[in-house]
């Protein structure tokens, strides 16, 4: 029988957390003193140092998530920090007290309490250990968008060096992250924005060809790549999916990952709407799709200046969570909004 180990110093009995007791506006995000969550066997308790703020958490606050989400709930689908307590058996996998870790997804902040808090407990299987000297707000921007971008490019599209990639929804956090990863892989990247003034921002993230998305991309993309791109990452939604198909070459692939513009389904869908020879897949993965070794490599690439972390703004403390969600909801600043806890 294993016995728990804890970090030096006693863990407090209570903590501050953002709690949603019922869906609503920004005032539904209440900062409260609540008990520090008890850790179950096979789970890890993490002292949270930073967390990213995501559109899905805005939906949870509004009551627009699926039935998995119940209230009251501490939101937050991702977070980074240090291990506070873990099973002794987990030390073999690197999950010892004081270890830097990231965690995301897996029902976190939805079916059980998430990272908008000083402490969070999560299953050990969705905890990624790492070592870095990067600031916590930079690291806090990465887990969910890196996991989604990496999984989409690898498991979804199997992107290779020398290929061409279209990212539709390029100024989103996943789109920006995917662009930097695709350049690291060695691909040529075409990425979209609805605002021509943001083309420079895309180029700064390594995009080769920023393109203004007016709902009709196929002709613009084929002016750049006459035969069509090898791969397309769809982040805008089903409303533009037929047009995205027109950007892709025969035997190329489209990976449906997000619906920033709405439209998660196609009424009266017919398989024959997919052009002959073009492949359609999807990605909606979990923390296990981002191997610890890959995450560590990406952290090192940021430290070396080879990869850029698209941080839009850092907020200090739980009292600024309402401001962070308001900025995410407005959509005026591309990049990740990160809440930093502690020093």
Higher pLDDT, 230 or 311: 230
- Kindly provide the b/e burial profile for residues 54-63, where b requires at least 16 CB atoms within 10 angstroms of the residue's own CB: bebbbbbbee
Cα–Cα dist 155/288, whole Å: 12
Does the pLDDT of residue 172 top 90, yes or no?
no
Confidence of residue 91 (pLDDT cuts 50, 70, 90): low
Cα–Cα dist 194/236, whole Å: 11
Q: Give the orientation angle of helix 143-151 with respect to helix 292-304, to 10 degrees.
A: 110
Residue 225, exposed/middle/buried by CB under 10 A (0-12, 13-18, 19+)?
middle
Higher pLDDT, 73 or 261: 73
> What is the pLDDT, as a whole number, of residue 5?
46
Cα–Cα dist 180/195, whole Å: 20
Q: Are 59 and 19 in contact (CB under 8 A)?
A: no
Residues in the chain: 343
Closest CA to 76 of 327, 334, 299, 325: 325
**Across 206-215, average pLDDT:** 95
**Across 45-59, average pLDDT:** 94
Confidence of residue 58 (pLDDT cuts 50, 70, 90): very high
User: Which range is most confident: 192-196, 252-256, 327-331?
Assistant: 252-256
Confidence of residue 93 (pLDDT cuts 50, 70, 90): low
Task: Give 14-40 pLDDT, tens digit per residue.
Answer: 999 999 999 999 999 999 999 999 999
Q: Are 114 and 108 in contact (CB under 8 A)?
A: yes
Mean pLDDT taken over the chain: 91
Task: Give 238-267 pLDDT, tens digit per residue.
Answer: 989 999 999 999 999 999 998 877 777 888
Confidence of residue 343 (pLDDT cuts 50, 70, 90): low
> What is the pLDDT, as a whole number, of residue 176?
86
> What is the pLDDT, as a whole number, of residue 80?
98
- DSSP bridge pairs for 168: 234
pLDDT exceeding 70 applies to what percent of the chain? 96
């Amino acid at each position: 029988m294993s016995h728990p180990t804890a970090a030096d110093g006693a863990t407090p009995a209570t903590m501050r957390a953002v709690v949603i007791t019922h869906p609503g506006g920004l005032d539904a995000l209440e900062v409260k003193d609540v008990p520090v969550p008890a850790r179950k066997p096979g789970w890890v308790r993490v002292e949270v140092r930073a967390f990213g703020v995501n559109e899905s958490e805005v939906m949870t606050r509004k009551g627009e998530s699926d039935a998995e989400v119940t209230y009251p709930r501490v939101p937050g689908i991702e977070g980074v920090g240090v291990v506070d307590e873990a099973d002794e058996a987990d030390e073999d996998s690197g999950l010892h007290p004081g270890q830097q870790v990231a965690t995301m997804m897996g029902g976190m902040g939805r079916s059980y309490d998430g990272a908008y808090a000083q402490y969070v407990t999560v299953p050990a299987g969705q905890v990624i250990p790492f070592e870095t000297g990067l600031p916590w707000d930079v690291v806090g921007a990465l887990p969910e968008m890196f996991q989604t971008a990496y999984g989409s490019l690898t498991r979804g599209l199997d992107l290779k060096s020398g290929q061409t990639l279209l990212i539709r929804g390029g100024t989103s956090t996943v789109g920006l992250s995917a662009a930097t990863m695709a350049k690291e892989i060695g691909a040529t990247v075409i990425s979209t924005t609805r605002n021509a003034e943001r083309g420079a921002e895309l180029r700064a993230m390594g995009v080769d060809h920023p393109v203004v998305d007016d709902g009709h991309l196929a002709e613009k993309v084929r002016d750049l790549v006459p035969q069509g791109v090898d791969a397309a990452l769809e982040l805008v939604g089903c409303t533009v999916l037929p047009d995205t198909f027109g950007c892709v070459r025969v035997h190329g692939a489209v990976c449906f990952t997000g619906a920033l513009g709405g439209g998660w389904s196609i009424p009266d869908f017919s398989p024959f709407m997919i052009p002959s020879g073009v492949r359609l897949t999807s990605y909606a993965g979990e923390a296990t799709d981002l191997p610890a070794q890959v995450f560590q490599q990406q952290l090192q690439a940021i430290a070396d200046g080879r990869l850029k972390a698209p941080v839009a703004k850092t907020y200090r403390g739980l009292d600024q969570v309402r401001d962070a969600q308001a900025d995410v909801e407005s959509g005026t600043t591309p990049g990740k909004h990160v809440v930093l806890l502690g020093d």
